């Protein structure tokens, strides 16, 4: 089924300057784990074991994170600290990793197109690691893979946002098929509240069918010269089918300072063992 997951991680992360001047935003930790590790674990738990990264300058630490660190491994071998490396070892043992660079930041759509040689002609997941999703049951990507088996078309994850925040998101309109599922008829990137077709905002989880690459190729750059994935998805929705899925779980916008601090506090309370 779906085996590959794409991570566009080439962005500058300017909202976290100066921290992100020479380090990857995706390596910022929520408690003790970098954002990108939460993302890859989510994909792996959904059966997506081929991890494809679209990286940029200053992002080399992501590659190192998923590689073996022999010195460190031998240093802590046999000590209690070994358990802290358990999850990353599981990921390393069960996944394969590929990397390519997006030399110029020309938008999320362009970043996804840059990943085409790593994906090929098959459906794939996309995770934006700065949207951290915490769930009680299945992770969000696993929920979406279940839906893909049913509908076999592109799926975007959505959540209801306050109307005054629509400017931060791609916003959809569509026909409601189930309580948590819409067939997309319209999509607008970062609309003003008065222009937004709804308050259903796209978050950083997608399943895309490979024809999306042709739609992106035919998408002209929009504002700031960026190629928006929203525009390509709208074309795909008009010619075929795109579903929007209200996922079960909690999302934190860790690309913003507020969301990052909120996620840190939430995860510390929820997952941290006070005896440690």
CB of 25 to ligand UTP, least distance (A): 6
Residue with nearest beta carbon to ligand UTP: 11
Going residue by residue from 93 to 112, which x/- string records binding to ligand UTP, judged by CB under 6 A?
A: ---------x--xxxx-xx-
- Closer to ligand UTP at the Cβ: 14 or 239? 14
CB of 255 to ligand UTP, least distance (A): 5
Choose among 50, 73, 69, 51: nearest CA to 61. 69
Stretch touching ligand UTP by CB under 6 A, among 13-21, 184-192, 240-248, 263-271: 13-21
DSSP secondary structure, 61-130, as one string? HHHHHTS--HHHHHHHTTSGGGGGGHHHHHHHHH-EEEEEE-SS---HHHHHHHTHHHH-SS-EEEE-TT
3-state secondary structure at position 202: strand
Q: What's the distance, Cα to Cα, between the start and end of the chain in Å?
A: 40
Strand partners, 52: 6, 98
Taking the CA atoms of 126, 129, 133 and 136 in sequence, report the sign of the dihedral they define.
positive
CB of 49 to ligand UTP, least distance (A): 21
**Residues 247 to 276 in contact with ligand UTP, rule: CB under 6 A:** 255
Q: Does 139 bind ligand UTP (CB under 6 A)?
A: no
Q: Does 10 bind ligand UTP (CB under 6 A)?
A: yes
Q: Which two tokens stand for residue 124?
A: 């794939």
Interatomic CA distance for residues 36 and 53, integer angstroms: 10
Interatomic CA distance for residues 232 and 209, integer angstroms: 12
CB of 268 to ligand UTP, least distance (A): 23
CB of 108 to ligand UTP, least distance (A): 4
Stretch touching ligand UTP by CB under 6 A, among 6-14, 61-69, 85-93, 170-178: 6-14
Total site size for ligand UTP, rule CB under 6 A: 20
Residues of the shown chain interacting with ligand UTP in the complex, contacts defined by CB under 6 A:
8-15, 25, 54, 102, 105-108, 110-111, 128, 130, 255
């Amino acid at each position: 089924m779906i085996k590959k997951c794409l991570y566009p991680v080439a962005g500058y992360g300017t909202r976290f300057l100066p921290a992100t001047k020479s380090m990857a935003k995706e390596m910022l930790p929520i408690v003790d784990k970098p954002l990108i590790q939460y993302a890859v674990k989510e994909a792996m738990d959904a059966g997506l074991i081929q991890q494809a990264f679209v990286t940029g300058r200053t992002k080399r630490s992501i590659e190192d994170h998923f590689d073996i660190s022999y010195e460190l491994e031998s240093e802590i071998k046999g000590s209690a600290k070994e358990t802290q490396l358990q999850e990353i070892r599981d990921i390393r043992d069960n996944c394969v990793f590929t990397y390519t660079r997006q030399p110029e930041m020309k938008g999320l759509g362009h970043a996804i197109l840059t990943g085409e040689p790593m994906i090929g002609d098959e459906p794939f997941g996309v995770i934006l690691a700065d949207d951290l999703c915490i769930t009680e049951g299945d992770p969000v990507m696993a929920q979406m893979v279940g839906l893909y088996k049913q509908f076999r078309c592109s799926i975007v994850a959505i959540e209801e946002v306050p109307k005054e925040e629509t400017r931060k998101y791609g916003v959809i309109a569509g026909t409601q098929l189930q309580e948590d599922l819409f067939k997309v008829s319209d999509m607008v990137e970062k609309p003003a509240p008065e222009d937004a077709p709804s308050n259903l905002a796209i978050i950083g989880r997608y399943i895309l069918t490979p024809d999306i690459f042709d739609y992106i190729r035919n998408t002209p750059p929009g504002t700031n010269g960026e190629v928006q994935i929203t525009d390509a998805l709208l074309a795909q929705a008009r010619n075929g089918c795109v579903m929007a899925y209200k996922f079960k779980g909690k999302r934190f916008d860790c690309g913003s300072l507020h969301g990052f601090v909120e996620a840190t506090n939430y995860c510390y309370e929820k997952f941290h063992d006070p005896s440690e």
